[in-house]
Amino acid sequence: MSLRTRLLVAIGVIALVALAIADIVTYSALQSFLYQRIDQQLTAVHPDYEQAVDSGRGYPCFGGPNQALPAPPQGAGDGHDGGASNAFQTQAVELRTTSGTLVPDSSCPVYVNGKAYTPVITGPITGFTTASDGTQVAFFDAASMPLGGPTLRVRASTVANGDILVLAQPLNDIESTLNQLREIELIVTAGAVLIAVAAGYWLVRIGLRPLRDMETAAESIAEGNLTERVPGEDDRTEVGRLARTLNIMLGRIEGAFRARVASEERLRESDARLRRFVGDASHELRTPIAAISAYAELFGRGASEHKGDLERLMVGIQSETGRMEHLVADLLLLARLDEGRPMELHPVDLTALCGQAVQTSTAVGPAWPVTFSAPRPIEVTGDATSLRQVVDNLLGNVRSHTPAGTTAHVSVEPDGDGAVIVVADDGPGMTPDQVAHAFERFYRSDPSRSRLHGGAGLGLSIVSAIVAAHGGTVTAASAQDRGTTFTVRLPAVPPTTPATPLPAGGSPAATALAGQGAERGTTPDGGPAADPA
């Protein structure tokens, strides 16, 4: 059974029970009132009859039109005092003994629709109570004789000689009134129940509308629309509180689902990056390994017997070995940065650090003039060696990928509580596609992967990783023939406090190679991450 049906049944049952109770109470109250009025009427006429019995005169009976009514007793019957009358006897009067036997010639019938009726009393009368005047009185209902007549309301009271005076009045008018009331109550109750059920159906339909809206929203959510929300959460009702709770739950489910999707996407991207990284690393390592293998083969073929050839072999082997060591050191640095390994943080004067980097770049590559500007000393918390490597790599990128004579400018400006470092050049610039991939590892715009310009393509990747480890961001902006601008934004303090220091450059070998690269006029990785600059 549906909730709507149960509510309608409950409304109908409650309405029916309430109306039934009201009908019973009304019926009983009216019945009691009418019976009390009959009892009062019988009590009002009995003194005249009782006086007539006590005086021995007897009481008159009248039963039809034009029947003369004797004068005594005063107020007997309907209260007339003699003369012709069209009235009928309205109360039956009898005198009975204590055993219930009728005293001869003492019965006056009551007339209903022209027919005479007397009460049926077959035994002693009991149930007497003491009235206010000290007499014993009993009220009860009795059938009428002949059978099939109206029910009579009987008042029995004791008289002076010990007999019992019986007055009886028909209840046909009362029964007719009560029957009519019962019929009216049945009709009104049935109509009221129908109206209550109809109104209840309308109210229940309005009241359950939010639940139907919830059902619609739930169907939409079940179809995969996790952004759907249950309406009505602003209502200050039970349904509103339920909607609010469900929306909170749906928000958490949506968040968890988004986190799961994002995690899966990150896993897929990580897997793709790992595959690409392994392939690129293998490609980068294969060339120096092949070169060393070729040098070894030449050495085995007798190159060692000629001093000039031997020197060239050793220089070549040393060069390729240094390239591999440098590549491995950069890969180790990136791996540690990716792991979130903490760095050794100290207050760093960026103005002094960038000024030193500019001086070194000018000394290493005098053909690429560099200018520097800073309004005042600007201090942040970070790893000084790593931040220096960021500036060195950006300036090395200018030397590696722009023609001689290209000028660059380095500026340090305050940025709220942090700082911003800008390295800009007036070189040939990059295409939008090259800018989009500038910070990707092993990316070089040269399809042939030639090393005539740049190294393995890790320089800008290292820049991005170091800046990210400091809680900052690095962006590139460029246009063809308009130069390239790298913007590094650093917070005053990184978002997390490291527990243990991370060696600068990832390893001592990387630090040593950074110095060697500066002496050779290249970036610490032998070249920038992006081919164009």
Which range in 84-98, 157-171, 321-335 is most confidently predicted, on average pLDDT? 157-171
How far lies 280's CA from each of 194, 319, 363, in Å?
Answer: 83, 20, 33
- One-letter amino acid identity for 500? T
Residue 118 has pLDDT above 80, yes or no: yes
pLDDT at 186 over 60: yes
Q: Which of 495, 477, 496, 479 is CA-nearest to residue 487?
A: 477
pLDDT value for 453: 47
Cα of first residue to Cα of last residue in the chain, in angstroms, is 75
**Among candidates 16, 15, 8, which has minimal Cα distance to 200?**
8
Q: For residue 429, what pLDDT is reported?
A: 84
60 band by pLDDT with thresholds 50, 70 and 90: confident
What pTM did the predictor assign?
Answer: 0.46
DSSP state of 330: H
Handedness of CA 23, 28, 29, 30 (dihedral sign): positive
Would strands 408-415 and 370-373 be described as parallel, antiparallel, or unpaired?
parallel
In which band, very low, low, confident or very high, does the pLDDT at 442 lie, cut at 50, 70 and 90? low
Which pLDDT score, from 0 to 100, does residue 306 have? 67
Q: How confident is the model at residue 432 (pLDDT cuts 50, 70, 90)?
A: confident
Length of the chain: 533
Q: Which of 388, 335, 427 minimizes the C-alpha distance to 518?
A: 388
Using the structure block, give the residue that is written with the tokens 């209260």: 79
Element (DSSP H or E) covering residue 311 = helix 307-338
Most confident option among 215-224, 238-247, 359-368: 359-368
Range of weakest confidence among 387-396, 476-485, 502-511? 502-511
Question: What distance in Å separates the CA atoms of residue 484 and residue 425, rounded to the nearest whole number?
Answer: 6
